[in-house]
Amino acid sequence: MTVLADRTEMAEESDELTLDVMFEWLEKMPIPEGTKVEIVGGNIFMSPQRQTHWQIIATLYEQLRAVYDRARIASDVRIDFPGHLNGFACDLAAMAEGSVMDSKGRWRYQDIEFVAEVISQNTAANDYGPKRLAYAAAGVPVYLVVDPYQGECRLYTHSRHGDYATVTKVGFGDDIDLTGTPVGLVLRTDEFPRD
User: Structure pTM?
Assistant: 0.82
pLDDT digits (tens, 9 = 90+) for 103-141: 999 999 999 999 999 998 888 999 999 999 999 999 999
Query: What pLDDT is attached to residue 106?
Result: 93
Residue 122 three-state SS = coil
pLDDT digits (tens, 9 = 90+) for 156-173: 999 999 999 999 999 999
pLDDT band at 50 (very low <50, low <70, confident <90, very high): confident
In this structure, what are the phi and psi dihedrals at residue 161, rounded to the nearest 5 degrees? Answer: 50, 40
Residue 24 three-state SS = helix
